[in-house]
Structure 1
Amino acid sequence: MMAPGRKRRIALRTAVIVAAVALSLTMEISGFLATPEAERDEISYTTLHAAVPLVFAACAGVAWRIGPTRIPSRLMIAVVVLWIPQSIYHVIGDLGWLWPIVRGVDLGWAVVTGVLVLIYPRGWLHGGFERWIAAIALVASLVNLVTVLLFGTPGPETCDCVPNPYQVAEIPMLFSTLDIAYRVIGGLLALLIAGRLLVQWVRGSVPARTVAFLMPLALLAWATTLAAQAASYAAQSTSGEVLETISLIAIASVPVSFVAGISHTRNMRARVADLMRITREGADRGLWAESLARTLRDASVRVYWWDEERGGYFDAAGVPIGPHVDPRGSQSILPVASPLGVPIALIRHDRVLTDNMRLLDGVSSALRLSVDNGRLRSEIERTLEQVRQSRQRIVEAGVDARRRIERDLHDGAQQRLVSLGMSLRLAADRAGELGDPELLTDLEAAIDDLTKGLRELRELAHGIHPSLLSAGGLALAVPELAGRCPVPVAVDVQAEGRLPEIIESTAYFAIAELLANVAKHSGGTRAWVRAHLHDHELELVVRDNGVGGASLDGGSGMLGIDDRIDAVGGRLELESPLGAGTTVTIRIPTAAAAGE
């Protein structure tokens, strides 16, 4: 939701623009109606004349929204207010206190328009040339106002008005000379600004031309017609409808050109967002410089990266940065550093881009983000690799522990129990020979319990680490495992040769857990186990014809299987539609484990 303060600002701007437009149209319409019909301009020209302030007002609204500062929009509103047609004198001619002031500022719109061009596209005066031109125009305008107030007289050349109450002397020659000089100075200043802007555009780089691509043409057309009109005014002749029409169109194109230029600049900043796609993978230095040049449309862009070891800046090819850029040259340097002040890079770019600091700030932020993403990505990849290796070491340690326990049980407790069983058998035989049936019965019962305990111990040892797996791999261990499943299991094992021990152990216990799930949860009557080796990848498929509906978070041990498989770089896929059985597919890469 829009903030209340923002709503008030928008409402205020809208009110100011509407009021300025209303004032301008009121002056235009009232002046047209007050002018005798014989002296009125053509309807088409009057319409075009009235449309000029409307164009300025519309552009003021856009500039107010997207402009670099508030100055351009305010200047455009000032032009709307100062766009006073000559016919307004028929309305205010009887107001002696007013018409001399209006006459003194009736070309103020031209001065404001010139200043608007001078601040393009930065939004403020920058440099001695712009300040001097603005100062000359302002002084000339003030001199013209004072001249009109002190020496202006009503008449055909000025207006059919009441006497000027501010007049101190009637010197027609002085008044006419200063009046013509003011218009000539204005025309010359406009030509000077247009010429300078056009030369800068011709000599400028691609970024400079793209930022100021319309303004030179608009300003040149306006300055040319303004100079021609000043000459016609000096010669006391009419300038012609064609020339006046061209002048109006050129004037209206000035704010349009300004808005188009700042819109283009704004779009350039938006294109910096395209650089964010690069940041996802970190800063590939060659790609980064190429993408930056394309985004800024500046083929001269060079990115030099800070090398801590060598203590300098080097480009992607290892070429060091050259001498420092001449401040008065066409190139400029943008340093990029981390928030802690650690140098990252230097971006050498066209100097015209320094007028758009928001754009350069966006570029700096994108580069910092790219470097940070690259560093974080490397740290994450390194951490993930450490975690993967740690998990694999844990699995390998578990396999080794299982094997040691199985060996200790087989060579230790199991052998002792076998020896004890043999001793008890000898004792039972001796009791039979001695004719002691009670002792014989007790010994036989002990032998029977010992045999059962020995069987359970062997099954426990087999569950901890099957000896068949160590002896013959999956080809021997899986069929034996399937044979102990209460559900009939069809086995197809085609693992050629022996696989790394961790792979065989992981595959075996995954199959064991899946067959246990088949027996306990599936409700099926058949199961199938398939183990094939394809392109250094072991593929295990365990399928049943049960009720289905299994899931990785269903509490059936699937998460444990998935974790065990993931620890060795494998992946698990589960398909278990309701009523259609369950199929678990496991793929484990064997090349990496073999290499390790």
Structure 2
Amino acid sequence: MAPGRKGRIVKRSAVIAAVVAVSLAMEISGFLATPEGERPEASWTTLHAMVPLVFAASAGVAWGIGSALVPARLMVIFPLLWIPQTFYRVIEDLGWLWPLVRGVDLAWAVLTGILVLLYPRGWLMGRVDRWIAGIALAASIVNLLAVLLLAGPDPAVCECAPNPYRIAELPAVFGFIDIGYRIVGVTLALVIAARLLVSWMRGSVPARTVAFLMPLALLAWVITLAAQAVSYAAAATADEVLSTVSLIAIASIPVSFVAGIAHARNMRARVADLMRITREGADRGLWAESLARTLRDASVRVYWWDEERGRYADAAGEPIDHDPADRRGDHSLLPVASPTGMPIALIRHDRVLTDNMRLLDGVSSALRLSVDNGRLRSEIERTLEHVRQSRSRIVEAGVEARRRIERDLHDGAQQQLVSLGMRLRLAANHARSAGDDGLAADLEDAIAMLNLALKELRELAHGIHPSLLSSGGLALAVPELAGRCPVPVEIDVQAEGRLPEVIESTAYFVVAESLANVAKHSRATRGWVRAHVRDGELELVVRDNGVGGASPEGSGMVGIADRVDAVGGRIEIESPPGAGTTITVRMPLGAALVDA
């Protein structure tokens, strides 16, 4: 954990612990200072004390998972304003303090209403919300001034010392302001509840899932608040059931707020799943379906930018000929563009998701990354295909060049040397007939040297491109090649008909190099070569019973692997120490077999 983050957690924990201690101190001291006959029920007092604890705990959670700090701070302030009526027994002798406490002892209701207005975004969005918050704050300031300047001790609450701030004794005016303040509070709470409830009922599935607990809690609190205000105005004793329901409803509000934050956070976490699903590229149908499932919004539509026509089109390629956003304003549009500003897509979503911009930013990043991955994947595949085709052309060109050199040597230098040998033979015979034995012997030596050079030239031409491979394919060339290996080799070649020339040449090279390794390094007493055509592939296996331990990094093995890879083939090398070596090569034919 980062030092800065750890320090913030410690600081916030200390603040929460401090406000909880102050709240419990007010509750306990007030309960003990009240005479036993006038004390409220212990169960009710316990429930009353639990409300600020719930707010404080919710503040800790909101600080940890929320993006906005204001809601968590309001929840921390709440326990300080949750002042029990019994606490006036503790401060009744402090004439300078109890008027201040009484002036703010209903501020918790204002704070709770503002907290609801912030739900679930974390800040005030519309003008109406700001007006409601402004009226509530103004009414609280008027009430505070009225208490300080006009209120006197209330015998029903405490035997308080005189109010030193009081400037006039106007009980009727104070009563009017006091009751009016409560009426304004109830009215604002009803307006907030009505707005939230209507928004929830008219909202789509995303709207209801984001705000699924708050309407119920707020409605219960407003109903009980109104009933308690009527009882206060009528100077009647509040019903115990209403008071209990009110406490439970108030405690439910911060829990509902935190639940909404957690839900929004969970939706953002599901964007990671969206990126995982579409990591291979942006399949348009899959993307729209996955996005609707991630956002839990069946009304989601994705319109893709058609660069050729310069307009947006749906997944089927049909251009949109209407405004994607509906006239009712229930939906919003999220344009997604590349880092260079090139349009990618237009996402139509439920308007309520606009409140969760971090979620929409994640969706935009996921789509942008998905499109980039698809584009890069296509470019890499095209590049690899070009490389494969280029390597194949190089191999084919090499095969053709070797065949041409072999043909030139056979038709040119070899034929001339053969003709020269015949002329030398005639000259030797003529010298012998003329009785010049010395000249005849010299000509015989020249003929022997010429035959040796001709043999070496034929072997060189055979190594460049064996004529048997050109004329008879693997079925003739491989047995001839194995016959020149000092180790006995068993041959099983069942290639029906002629194979593509580049495949035959590659297979011949693999066999030649493998048998050379058998003769030089394996210390084998026997070898096997098998070549079969199966499922459109040539399967070539070269095996020996030698000492094994062949390294794939050896120059010979690397050369084999490069040639096989150039024609799109695969190679497997098994060479455990003491168990011989097996080289298995599979090469796709890529074309119909050539008839022999």
2:19 partner letter = A
2:381 partner letter = E
Distance 1:227 1:593 in 2: 89
Is the Cα contact below 8 Å between 1:286 and 1:316 reproduced in 2? yes
More deviation in 34-43 or 352-361?
A: 34-43
Q: How far has the Cα of 1:428 moved from its partner?
A: 2.0
Partner of 2:225: 226
Q: How far has the Cα of 1:78 moved from its partner?
A: 1.0
1:84 partner letter = I
Q: How far has the Cα of 1:203 moved from its partner?
A: 1.0
Is the Cα contact below 8 Å between 1:278 and 1:370 reproduced in 2? no
Partner of 2:563: 564
2:461 partner letter = A
1:461 aligns with 2:435: no
Partner of 2:38: 39
Partner of 2:447: 447
Partner of 2:195: 196
Distance 1:355 1:449, change over 3 A: same
Distance 1:250 1:440 in 2: 128
Partner of 2:390: 390
Partner of 2:489: 489
Q: How far has the Cα of 1:205 moved from its partner?
A: 0.4
Is the Cα contact below 8 Å between 1:503 and 1:593 reproduced in 2? no
2:179 partner letter = I
1:213-233 CA-partner distances (Å, limit 9, x unpaired): 111111111111111111121
Q: How far has the Cα of 1:475 moved from its partner?
A: 0.9
Is the Cα contact below 8 Å between 1:575 and 1:582 reproduced in 2? yes
Partner of 1:513: 513
Is the Cα contact below 8 Å between 2:146 and 2:177 reproduced in 1? yes
1:304 partner letter = Y
Within 5 A, what are the aligned runs for 1:162-311? 162-311=161-310
Partner of 2:437: 437
Is the Cα contact below 8 Å between 1:279 and 1:374 reproduced in 2? no
Q: How far has the Cα of 1:52 moved from its partner?
A: 1.3
Distance 2:53 2:524 in 1: 82
Partner of 1:381: 381
1:439-497 CA-partner distances (Å, limit 9, x unpaired): 23322222222212111111111111111111111111111111111111111111111
SS in 1 for 2:302: strand
Within 5 A, what are the aligned runs for 1:114-153? 114-153=113-152
SS in 2 for 1:121: coil
Distance 2:460 2:256 in 1: 87
More deviation in 62-71 or 88-97?
A: 62-71
Q: How far has the Cα of 1:542 moved from its partner?
A: 0.9
1:338 aligns with 2:358: no
1:87 aligns with 2:65: no
Distance 1:298 1:97 in 2: 57
SS in 2 for 1:528: strand
Q: How far has the Cα of 1:274 moved from its partner?
A: 1.5
SS in 2 for 1:580: coil
Distance 2:43 2:592 in 1: 86
Q: How far has the Cα of 1:570 moved from its partner?
A: 0.7
Number of residue pairs aligned between Structure 1 and Structure 2:
593
More deviation in 34-43 or 286-295?
A: 34-43
Displaced runs of 4+ in structure 1, greater than 6 A? none
1:410 aligns with 2:403: no
Is the Cα contact below 8 Å between 1:68 and 1:122 reproduced in 2? no
Partner of 1:64: 63
Report the identity percentage: 76
SS in 1 for 2:266: helix
1:524 partner letter = A
Q: How far has the Cα of 1:324 moved from its partner?
A: 5.5
Distance 2:356 2:135 in 1: 27
2:165 partner letter = Y
Q: How far has the Cα of 1:158 moved from its partner?
A: 4.1
Is the Cα contact below 8 Å between 2:498 and 2:593 reproduced in 1? no
Distance 2:436 2:42 in 1: 142
Q: How far has the Cα of 1:325 moved from its partner?
A: 2.6
SS in 2 for 1:382: helix
Distance 1:594 1:252, change over 3 A: farther
SS in 2 for 1:503: helix
Distance 2:551 2:223 in 1: 80
Q: How far has the Cα of 1:326 moved from its partner?
A: 5.5
1:384-417 CA-partner distances (Å, limit 9, x unpaired): 1110000000000000011001001111111111
Q: TM-score, normalised by structure 1?
A: 0.97
SS in 1 for 2:299: coil
1:476 aligns with 2:476: yes
Distance 1:465 1:593 in 2: 23
Q: Which runs of 5+ in 2 are unaligned?
A: none
Distance 1:41 1:394 in 2: 97
Q: How far has the Cα of 1:556 moved from its partner?
A: 4.6
Distance 2:157 2:169 in 1: 14
Partner of 1:363: 363
Partner of 2:552: 552
Distance 1:340 1:117 in 2: 40
SS in 2 for 1:591: coil
Distance 1:508 1:51 in 2: 87
Is the Cα contact below 8 Å between 1:574 and 1:585 reproduced in 2? yes
1:432 partner letter = R
Distance 2:550 2:148 in 1: 97
1:390 partner letter = S
More deviation in 273-282 or 361-370?
A: 273-282
SS in 1 for 2:260: helix
2:103 partner letter = G
Distance 2:200 2:154 in 1: 45
1:54-113 CA-partner distances (Å, limit 9, x unpaired): 111111111112213111111101112211111111111111010001001001111101
Distance 2:230 2:591 in 1: 88
Distance 2:324 2:566 in 1: 54
Is the Cα contact below 8 Å between 1:150 and 1:169 reproduced in 2? yes
More deviation in 217-226 or 435-444?
A: 435-444
Distance 1:518 1:525 in 2: 9
Distance 1:372 1:31 in 2: 65
Give the alignment's Cα RMSD to 1 decimal: 1.6
2:502 partner letter = I
Q: How far has the Cα of 1:373 moved from its partner?
A: 1.3
1:251-302 CA-partner distances (Å, limit 9, x unpaired): 1111111111011101111111112124432111111111111111111111
Distance 1:472 1:59, change over 3 A: same
Distance 1:540 1:472 in 2: 18
SS in 1 for 2:548: coil
More deviation in 555-564 or 531-540?
A: 555-564
Q: How far has the Cα of 1:16 moved from its partner?
A: 1.6
Distance 1:444 1:58 in 2: 113
Distance 1:594 1:560 in 2: 26
Distance 1:558 1:259 in 2: 64
Distance 1:438 1:88 in 2: 143
1:588 partner letter = M
Q: TM-score, normalised by structure 2?
A: 0.97
Is the Cα contact below 8 Å between 1:537 and 1:588 reproduced in 2? yes
SS in 2 for 1:531: strand
